[in-house]
Amino acid sequence: MIAVNQTRVTKQIHLGNVPIGGGAPVVVQSMTNTDTRDWQATVAQIIRLQEVGCEMVRVAVLDQQAVQQLSRIKQAIDIPLIADIHFDHRLALGALAAGVDGLRLNPGNIGGGQSVAKVVKSALERQVPIRIGVNSGSVEKELLSRYGRPSPEAMVESALRHIRMLEDEGFDLIKVSLKSSDVLDTIRAYQLLADRVDYPLHLGVTEAGTLVDGAIKSSLGIGVLLYQGIGDTIRVSLTRPPEDEIPVAYSILRALKLRRRGVELISCPTCGRTELDLIPLVEKAERLLRKVRSPLKVAIMGCVVNGPGEAREADVGIAGGRGKGILFKKGVRTQTVAEEELLQRLLMEVQEITGEVIID
């Protein structure tokens, strides 16, 4: 079997109780799009994210009112909470005091010397890591004029500057991201940085776009890097509710055999042989199976030509016939079910195998 290249060896850091880098599994992360000052809406969204497998979450902290809500949010959720801070180091100090598990800030843009020293001191006392996040849109003017554009080299130089600012204060609980909306620039930037530092890397293609475009760009950018053994946490960015990012992230990780969480859904593209109304069936099954945590392979196929083969290989499979489907379980044909009962039967089988309750 072809496998992902040897994972790059990095320092290990911890966000809350989640290990990152140093051989730990790749972690799936997202960011809320609620107003953090509205703690109830933010918590509700984080819980929805948790339910589909998000393992760390970032919230934007724009002002002191948002800082005030962080401990409340932290207490109501089960996954590590990261505060995203720009410009004002007092927000970072407040977030640390509120008990966040991680900060995302660039030391170069929170006011320089003394401000950085204060934040680092507080983060070190609490052993809270900081992610430096360089975006192609945030590269310093001087680097832009030197490199002509936010090239991978310019992004890496920018990241190294921020890293040095933290290291100069004796801080090494660092994670770094280098996101560009250009897939090839993103890949190149991470490759260059991976040769220069041994900090864990957070992967993402920024402003990736809508569901189809964003999923493709993210899969390519993140996928190529993970395949090369680079990357310790990932975020798929979509112009969608963040809950929709998580299944894409797991799909990438499953395809590379890096994580096995959740249902791998195999379904055929349909053709002139399809004998039942397959597309709505598959779409509904996908939606309902999203919350399943156990690793499972489910196949839904449209006919008896190629269907039984795939269905037999899955943990639960359907091979469609005219107005009905043949059900397979763990490679064994179990029964023929009427089309209108297929989904229900499929869900029952999944529940039986996983022991997880599926709620519509």
Smallest gap from residue 252 Cβ to ligand SF4 (A) = 24
Among 97, 184, 305, 338, binds ligand SF4 (CB under 6 A): 305
Q: Give the separation between CA 352 and CA 9, rounded to whole angstroms.
A: 39
Q: Are strands 296-301 and 316-321 parallel, antiparallel or unpaired?
A: parallel
Residue spans of beta strands (DSSP E) within the chain: 13-15, 18-20, 27-31, 56-60, 81-84, 102-104, 130-135, 174-179, 202-203, 233-234, 263-267, 296-301, 316-321, 324-329, 332-338
Smallest gap from residue 216 Cβ to ligand SF4 (A) = 22
- Per CB under 6 A, does 221 bind ligand SF4? no
Residue closer to ligand SF4 (CB basis): 174 or 301: 301
Smallest gap from residue 272 Cβ to ligand SF4 (A) = 7
Q: Give the separation between CA 234 and CA 119, rounded to whole angstroms.
A: 25
- Per CB under 6 A, does 307 bind ligand SF4? yes
Q: Give the separation between CA 344 and CA 71, rounded to whole angstroms.
A: 42
Among 33, 68, 115, 306, binds ligand SF4 (CB under 6 A): 306
Position 134, amino acid = V
Smallest gap from residue 306 Cβ to ligand SF4 (A) = 4
Q: Give the separation between CA 330 and CA 259, rounded to whole angstroms.
A: 21
Q: Are 230 and 236 in contact (CB under 8 A)?
A: no
Among 221, 302, 317, 325, binds ligand SF4 (CB under 6 A): 302
**Could you give the string, one character per residue 245-274, with x where binding to ligand SF4 holds by CB under 6 A and - elsewhere?**
-----------------------xxxx-xx
Smallest gap from residue 98 Cβ to ligand SF4 (A) = 53
- Per CB under 6 A, does 224 bind ligand SF4? no
CA 118 to chain centre: 31
- Per CB under 6 A, does 303 bind ligand SF4? yes
Residue closer to ligand SF4 (CB basis): 128 or 301: 301
Residue closer to ligand SF4 (CB basis): 176 or 303: 303
- Give residue for tokens 């004998």: 275
CA 101 to chain centre: 17
- Per CB under 6 A, does 178 bind ligand SF4? no
How many chain residues are in contact with ligand SF4, going by CB under 6 A?
12
- Per CB under 6 A, does 325 bind ligand SF4? no
Among 100, 155, 248, 301, binds ligand SF4 (CB under 6 A): 301
Instruction: Tell me which residues touch ligand SF4 (CB under 6 A).
Output: 268-271, 273-274, 301-303, 305-307
